[in-house]
């Protein structure tokens, strides 16, 4: 028999107390893991979606809304811009590329984006099946959109006005799926891509031909980093358009979300501390119940140090089980979020940078909680305990 | 095996134990008797090295336990002294086999699986090694407590009120078993009791007042 078996036998005897102690520790670790994992993956995804896009140009309004609508496709656009003005900007000497976007409709909750093949090339999305769209009303689906819509080359779908499902449908203008993209891990996976002409044709049929052709936004890459100093100012002051920097707006968004994430981290820290206190309470209660057992161990020749090691080992083992379970629960919670919100494109089982530290902290809290009970063991009057017990 | 000279022990200002001279030789069986509060349990605790005497000299197996460090006294107790407590104090979360294994484990001695099985068999508990103390009768628990005290083959076996709450038949059985088992491992036996029924089993007695 080993000291470990002595401790294991006791906590198996006291299953409920052990389970509650482990669960409280696991809860703290799980919340910390899920919160940090969510923050890490959303930040990484935002960076992937905005990669290589230096500037977004659209209608005047909220710059954050412009970025959310044109880069992440997570908000309604601020409005439209004149095609002529956009084409002038596309030819600007400081612009290396400018990808046009025409937004407005969606299918099954996935946005229909009128654009050019340059958008797909920008994110490096290879075709999984079929071919690239060529003419109006042809569409290429992102991987997740194709999977959820259960559509592939040769299928048709009807677009509906607006972002939400259930908007007015354009039944007289069905789209034909000509290709499906392979997964890219970017926003492309959740889009239905079509030539800009499709968007114009659908809306001309409903609203009549517009006096001036319009698009929603331009995604721009600078020819030179120096462009950042002058191009946005030029656009914002000398045109009817608005220019917004994804990097700046993402940083602003992160600052806005940071408070919430800090609150989650704080909650996780409080839960970890509560787990440590619960363990302290469990160990003190266990010690009161076992003081005769421990006196017997001393009477059998155990040094105080050996008995202290038993108590500290038990508290470490309980905390370690809680930490491992907590990591599993945390990733399980991320899997549940990923299932509920597939648009977030989370990989729930991807290791989180800080989870090693969370586990180490949780495991360290166990022996820390065990120190005081272990000290009481060290000071125990064995002869008196045996006489009273 | 045990040599006591001018032993005094007090709790605060209250002296509870006074023995001028006493000696227990190897293999002897002694009865320590006296009324409640006469210092019987205190004497056993001093002999076990659980209490440091207030005054006097106590030698166990040639070692002055008053001069030993705490660690040395723990080691001496684990290797050379077996104790049967009045309340037996079997660990309820452990099986009988594990309760017996506790003795070598806590003394830092090699595990004694074969000796444990042999002793359980000798005490008629060979098939009950996986039972827990709560599943035993008082008499069975008494045998397990004795087995645990003997598993490290001590040189000195101490028993505190081993026949408390036993009927006459079981009192005789327990007294006989203590003497036989101690003799089997070659241990000196010191039994502290106020139970006059077991006096006939012992040729030597120390009376505390």
Q: Which ipTM value was assigned to this complex?
A: 0.91
Q: Is the Cβ pair B106, A297 closer than 8 Å?
A: yes
Q: Is the Cβ pair A9, B48 closer than 8 Å?
A: no
Residue of A299, A304, A388 to mutate, testing the B interface (most B Cβ within 10 Å of its Cβ): A299
| A78-101 tens-digit pLDDT | 999 999 999 999 999 999 999 999
Q: Provide the shortest C-alpha distance from residue B178 to chain A (in Å).
A: 18
Please give, one letter per residue, the 3-state secondary structure of B9-31: EEECCEEEEEEEEEEECCCCEEE
- Helix, strand, or coil (residue A302): coil
Q: Is the Cβ pair B102, A300 closer than 8 Å?
A: yes
Residue that has been written with the tokens 């936004």 in this structure: A217
B28's tokens: 């002897």
- Please name the residue of chain A whose CA is at the shortest distance from the CA of residue B107: A301
pLDDT at A379: 82
Q: Is the Cβ pair B77, A299 closer than 8 Å?
A: yes
Residue of B74, B100, B130 to mutate, testing the A interface (most A Cβ within 10 Å of its Cβ): B74
Q: What is the mean pLDDT of chain B?
A: 91
pLDDT at A358: 85
A174's tokens: 């069905």
Q: Is the Cβ pair A3, B87 closer than 8 Å?
A: no
Q: Is the Cβ pair B92, A292 closer than 8 Å?
A: no
Phi-psi region of A124 (alpha: psi -120 to 50; beta: other; left: phi over 0): left
Q: Which of A6, A293, A300 sits opposite B103 (nearest CB)?
A: A300
Among the listed residues A44, A41, A51, A42, the one whose alpha carbon sits nearest the alpha carbon of residue A350: A41
Main-chain phi, psi angles of A277, to 5 degrees: -65, -40
Q: Is the Cβ pair B94, A383 closer than 8 Å?
A: no
DSSP state of A167: S
Q: How far apart are CA A40 and CA A37, in angstroms?
A: 5
| B20-63 tens-digit pLDDT | 999 999 999 999 998 888 899 999 999 999 999 999 999 999 99
Q: Where are the domains of chain A?
A: 3-46+258-388, 55-244
| A167-198 tens-digit pLDDT | 777 888 899 999 999 988 889 999 999 999 99
Contacts of A201 (CB under 8 A, 6+ apart): A136, A137, A173
Phi-psi region of B4 (alpha: psi -120 to 50; beta: other; left: phi over 0): beta
Among the listed residues B23, B18, B21, the one whose alpha carbon sits nearest the alpha carbon of residue B2: B23
Q: Which of B93, B95, B107 sits opposite A300 (nearest CB)?
A: B107
Q: How far apart are CA A122 and CA A186, in angstroms?
A: 11
Phi-psi region of A98 (alpha: psi -120 to 50; beta: other; left: phi over 0): beta
Main-chain phi, psi angles of B15, to 5 degrees: -80, 130
Q: Is the Cβ pair A297, B102 closer than 8 Å?
A: yes
Q: How far apart are CA B40 and CA B119, in angstroms?
A: 29
Percent of chain B's residues with pLDDT above 70? 100
Q: How far apart are CA A243 and CA A222, in angstroms?
A: 13
What is A50-107 written as a DSSP string?
HTT--EEEEESS-HHHHHHHHTS--S--S--EEHHHHHHHHT-TTEEEEEEEEEEEEE
Residue of A289, A292, A301, A381 to mutate, testing the B interface (most B Cβ within 10 Å of its Cβ): A301
Among the listed residues A383, B27, B81, B18, the one whose alpha carbon sits nearest the alpha carbon of residue B5: B18
- For residues A193 and A134, the answer to whether their CB atoms sit within 8 Å is no
| A349-372 tens-digit pLDDT | 888 878 888 888 888 888 888 888
pLDDT-derived band at A259 (thresholds 50, 70, 90) equals confident
How many CB pairs below 8 A link A and B? 82
Contact list, B85 vs chain A (CB under 8 Å): 296, 299, 386
Tell whether pTM > 0.80: no
* Three-point CA angle B195, B196, B198, nearest 5°: 85
Q: Is the Cβ pair B108, A301 closer than 8 Å?
A: yes
């Amino acid at each position: 028999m080993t000291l470990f078996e002595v401790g294991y036998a006791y906590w198996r005897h006291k299953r409920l107390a052990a389970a509650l102690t482990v669960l409280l520790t696991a809860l703290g670790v799980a919340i910390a893991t899920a919160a940090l994992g969510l923050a890490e993956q959303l930040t990484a995804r935002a960076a992937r979606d905005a990669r290589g896009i230096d500037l977004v140009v659209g209608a005047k309004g909220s710059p954050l809304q412009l970025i959310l609508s044109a880069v992440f496709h997570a908000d309604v656009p601020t409005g439209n811009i004149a095609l002529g003005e956009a084409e002038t900007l596309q030819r600007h000497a400081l612009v290396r590329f400018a990808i046009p976007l025409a937004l407005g409709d969606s299918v099954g909750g996935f946005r229909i984006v009128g654009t050019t093949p340059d958008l797909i090339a920008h994110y490096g999305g290879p075709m999984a099946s079929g071919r690239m769209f060529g003419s109006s009303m042809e569409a290429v689906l992102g991987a997740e959109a194709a999977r959820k819509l259960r559509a592939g080359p040769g299928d048709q779908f009807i677009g509906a006005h607006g972002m939400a499902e259930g908007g007015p449908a354009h039944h007289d203008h069905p789209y034909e799926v000509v290709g499906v993209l392979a997964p890219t891990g970017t926003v492309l996976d959740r889009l239905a891509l079509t030539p800009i002409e499709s968007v114009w044709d659908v809306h001309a049929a409903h609203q009549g031909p517009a006096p001036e052709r319009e698009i929603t936004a331009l995604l721009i890459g600078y020819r030179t980093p120096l462009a950042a100093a002058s191009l946005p100012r030029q656009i914002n002051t000398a045109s009817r358009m608005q220019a917004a920097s994804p990097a700046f707006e993402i940083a602003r968004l992160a600052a806005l979300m940071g408070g919430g994430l800090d609150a989650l981290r704080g909650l996780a820290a409080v839960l970890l501390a509560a787990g440590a206190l619960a363990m302290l309470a469990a160990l003190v209660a266990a010690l009161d119940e076992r003081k005769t057992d421990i006196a017997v161990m001393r009477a059998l020749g155990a040094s105080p140090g050996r008995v202290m090691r038993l108590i500290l080992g038990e508290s470490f083992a309980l905390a370690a089980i809680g930490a491992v379970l907590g990591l599993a629960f945390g990733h399980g919670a991320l899997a549940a979020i990923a299932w509920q919100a597939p648009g977030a494109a989370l990989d729930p089982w991807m290791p989180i940078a800080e989870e090693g530290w969370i586990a180490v902290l949780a495991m360290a809290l166990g022996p820390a909680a065990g120190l005081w009970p272990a000290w009481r063991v060290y000071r125990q009057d064995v002869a008196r305990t045996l006489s009273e017990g | 095996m045990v040599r006591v000279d001018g032993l005094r022990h007090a709790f605060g200002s209250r002296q509870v134990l006074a023995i001028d001279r006493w000696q227990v030789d190897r293999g002897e069986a002694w009865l320590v008797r006296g009324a409640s509060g006469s210092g019987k349990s205190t004497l056993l605790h001093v002999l076990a090295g659980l209490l440091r005497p207030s005054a006097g000299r106590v030698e166990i197996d040639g070692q002055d336990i008053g001069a030993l460090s705490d660690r040395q006294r723990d080691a001496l107790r684990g290797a050379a002294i077996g104790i049967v407590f009045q309340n037996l104090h079997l660990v309820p979360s452990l099986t009988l086999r594990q309760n017996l294994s506790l003795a070598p484990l806590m003394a830092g001695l090699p595990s004694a699986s074969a000796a444990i099985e042999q002793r359980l068999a000798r005490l008629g508990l060979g098939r009950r090694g996986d039972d827990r103390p709560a599943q035993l009768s008082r008499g069975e628990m008494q045998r397990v407590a004795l087995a645990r005290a003997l598993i490290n083959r001590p040189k000195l076996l101490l028993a505190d009120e081993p026949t408390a709450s036993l009927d006459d038949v079981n009192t005789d059985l327990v007294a006989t078993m203590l003497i036989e088992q101690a003799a089997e491992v070659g241990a000196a036996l010191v039994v502290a009791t106020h139970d006059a029924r077991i006096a006939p089993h012992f040729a030597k007695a120390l009376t505390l007042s």
